[in-house]
A and B are shown apart, each in its own frame.
Chain A
């Protein structure tokens, strides 16, 4: 390299270093401005955290409420932090609890609450200011009615986004067939058969439903079964559990009128919704949580209907409960209690429910919606509300979550996709529970 060339290279290097230095100084000087513009200043990161776990319309509704809470009660501001789906949030919450770096308040799926409560990591909410006594909650959605009762049990969770499974039907198909929504299993099979038509990419299935624990529990209840017997042993519906699986197998394999969506967990739920919206499924079972989403995105009239019965009507509840980690500081718990009091107020519960499709958790809130004519003009919401009288409570069992995720869910897929005998599948599940729990 000549001297001139090496000088040029040195100058270039100096130029780069100079630019880098200017950038660093600029970042140092402009950092606070940028962070305040982005709303992530040191001050906001020091606020007590509310961990939440969903996106889309539900996220918008929650963030609007958190903002309103901050404006209304500036001494109690919370920082909302997104933590992925329900299961990702739970994984992070356990890790945070182990590390002692918990949020002030979060929400968890109801089935996991007994596990967390019995592990001693949740704060009894009735010890917090303003959360003891009658909060005027809808009992089927609150801890007292969502779980089998036991005298003296403390209050560990307050209902937030609560739902039940529900049937959604394509109004155009109902008109085309001149049928009403099915009310029994027999009618369900008949409807699915009549509504199925076409081949290949033009095929429309009469029925679609994720092969998921939640819907199987609904079927077990409708067939007259219980998950646990009087002694607290997991019988998984016994004969009713087998009838539930046999119904799915008949619809999928013998009649070819039900489409089990590919994917697991919420991926399968999403596919079910998309199949319905695209006209590939005439009727789906999914959560009341998707009511608004389906109504707003369908190019046809969406008709909600209660799930059909076999020997009785039955639905489980779903969605999440607000909980406060025991390891949160007393200051954080004070903010959390204020936020929870704010969220169970009738107008707040209604604001979230009417924006999303979740069922209002406040008795006074539901009464107000009735008075204002909301249910008269929103028939699908009324179906979701009325179905609450068929709610079957979950067993208060710390193993419930593991039985669901580890034992039953994979076996449901085996039974339906690989067509294994329901009796054999459920016997293997009961054996696994006895061995593993």
Chain B
């Protein structure tokens, strides 16, 4: 559709732009400004320059947070993507039984985080949880999954994987169904087995889908908050305090608005860097792909 006046496209964009400006860009600038102050909302703000950033770096808090958040993200992305792909490959078949399994697995994704967290708290209870009961029955050692600083973060990461795998599976299913069956038929006629067909047809075709799933899973893992608030409140010994939870704790528990704002700015820069990296990888991949021949 051709716009009647040259200004029309901009007018149509204006509502979205206004919302973006009011709820994303302006708060970001406000956070950047606040990060230069020591402020508790009640008393006069005191200008400290880059003091909040220096304090975060010198105390080791920033390094710990970045390391912990990336570690959490790595587990979620690797396991979530791999499991999602495996399930998609296994369930990409016609029939009611497969449809039921697809629906059942995806249903975890639409359940609220709080319900998921409460369910898993019961399953993982160190005394009478399902996991503990089964482990004891099999004579395996048990652990306070959420109470031990060594296991709490991995446990929450695996709960996250359980929740988001259904989403990864559905996206991979869409990717699988977009691959022309003729490619597989031709390869099979040439004598390629299932593994070679996966390696040379399915996997290359699914690369953009994988990049999409990995990026969205990484973003989801970086935004983890409710699951931590309900299951561990950042503990034990800060072992599950990820970036977003640390921001919450600084502003609402420790009453340090400046420090929380500094964390927000660093978090934004980190996410910006990751998005840039992802865009670069996507464009490089597209540029290196041979152009498809135009139909005659």
Task: Please give the residue numbers on chain A whose beta carbons come within 8 Å of chain B beta carbons, in ascending order.
Answer: 87-88, 91, 94-95, 97-98, 115-116, 119-121, 200-201, 260-265, 267, 280, 401-402, 405-406, 410, 413-414, 417-418, 436
In the complex, what distance in Å separates the CA atom of A88 from the CA atom of B251?
Answer: 11
Please, what's the 1-or-0 string for B35-63, where 1 marks a CB less than 8 Å from any CB in chain A? 00000111100000000000100000000
Task: Please give the residue numbers on chain B whose beta carbons come within 8 Å of chain A beta carbons, in ascending order.
Answer: 40-43, 55, 126-128, 132-133, 136, 142, 144, 146-149, 232-238, 251-255
Contacts of A262 in B (CB 8 A): 126, 144, 146-147, 236
Q: A263-B232, A264-B232 are in contact. Are A119 and B128 (CB under 8 A)?
A: no
Q: Are B127 and A413 in contact (CB under 8 A)?
A: no
Contacts of B127 in A (CB 8 A): 201, 280
In the complex, what distance in Å separates the CA atom of A235 from the CA atom of B148?
Answer: 29
Q: Specify the chain A residue showing the minimal Cβ separation from B238.
A: A410
Contact of A119 among B42, B132, B149, B237 (CB under 8 A): B42
Q: A94-B255, A200-B136, A263-B146 are in contact. Are A413 and B42 (CB under 8 A)?
A: no
Contact of B236 among A121, A264, A280, A405 (CB under 8 A): A264
Contact of A97 among B42, B132, B234 (CB under 8 A): B42
Q: A201-B133, A201-B136 are in contact. Are A94 and B41 (CB under 8 A)?
A: yes
- Chain B's interface: helix, strand, loop or mixed, by majority? loop
In the complex, what distance in Å separates the CA atom of A201 from the CA atom of B135?
Answer: 11
- Chain A's interface: helix, strand, loop or mixed, by majority? helix
Q: Are A413 and B235 in contact (CB under 8 A)?
A: yes
Contacts of B253 in A (CB 8 A): 87, 91, 405-406
Q: Are B235 and A263 in contact (CB under 8 A)?
A: yes
In the complex, what distance in Å separates the CA atom of A264 from the CA atom of B245?
Answer: 14
Q: Are B40 and A264 in contact (CB under 8 A)?
A: no
In the complex, what distance in Å separates the CA atom of A119 from the CA atom of B44?
Answer: 9
Contacts of B148 in A (CB 8 A): 417
In the complex, what distance in Å separates the CA atom of A201 from the CA atom of B235?
Answer: 24
Contacts of A401 in B (CB 8 A): 255
Shortest C-beta distance, B200 to chain A (Å), equals 45
Q: Specify the chain B residue showing the minimal Cβ separation from A95.
A: B41
Q: Which 4 interchain pairs have the tightest Cβ spacing?
A: A262-B147, A91-B252, A264-B233, A264-B235
Q: Are B42 and A116 in contact (CB under 8 A)?
A: yes
In the complex, what distance in Å separates the CA atom of A179 from the CA atom of B290?
Answer: 84
Contacts of A115 in B (CB 8 A): 255
Contact of B128 among A94, A120, A121, A201 (CB under 8 A): A201
Q: Specify the chain B residue showing the minimal Cβ separation from A97.
A: B42
Q: A91-B252, A405-B253, A417-B149 are in contact. Are A119 and B234 (CB under 8 A)?
A: no
Q: Are B43 and A119 in contact (CB under 8 A)?
A: yes
Known contacts A95-B41, A265-B233, A414-B237, then 10 further A-B pairs from the complex at CB < 8 Å, ordered by chain A residue: A88-B252, A119-B42, A201-B133, A263-B232, A264-B234, A264-B236, A405-B253, A406-B253, A413-B237, A436-B55
Q: Are B255 and A402 in contact (CB under 8 A)?
A: yes
Can you show 6 pairs from A to B with CB atoms below 8 A apart? A87-B252, A115-B255, A200-B142, A201-B133, A262-B146, A410-B238
In the complex, what distance in Å separates the CA atom of A260 from the CA atom of B146?
Answer: 12
Contacts of A97 in B (CB 8 A): 41-42
Q: Are B128 and A263 in contact (CB under 8 A)?
A: no
Q: Are A406 and B254 in contact (CB under 8 A)?
A: yes
In the complex, what distance in Å separates the CA atom of A116 from the CA atom of B41?
Answer: 11
In the complex, what distance in Å separates the CA atom of A200 from the CA atom of B133?
Answer: 10
Q: Are B147 and A410 in contact (CB under 8 A)?
A: no
Q: Specify the chain A residue showing the minimal Cβ separation from B39.
A: A98
Contacts of B146 in A (CB 8 A): 262-263
Contacts of A260 in B (CB 8 A): 147
Contacts of A406 in B (CB 8 A): 253-254
Contacts of A280 in B (CB 8 A): 127
Q: Specify the chain B residue showing the minimal Cβ separation from A203.
A: B127
Contacts of B144 in A (CB 8 A): 262
In the complex, what distance in Å separates the CA atom of A97 from the CA atom of B42?
Answer: 7
In the complex, what distance in Å separates the CA atom of A402 from the CA atom of B43?
Answer: 15
Contact of A121 among B42, B233, B235, B252 (CB under 8 A): B42
Contacts of B55 in A (CB 8 A): 436
Q: Specify the chain A residue showing the minimal Cβ separation from B128.
A: A201
In the complex, what distance in Å separates the CA atom of A88 from the CA atom of B237?
Answer: 21
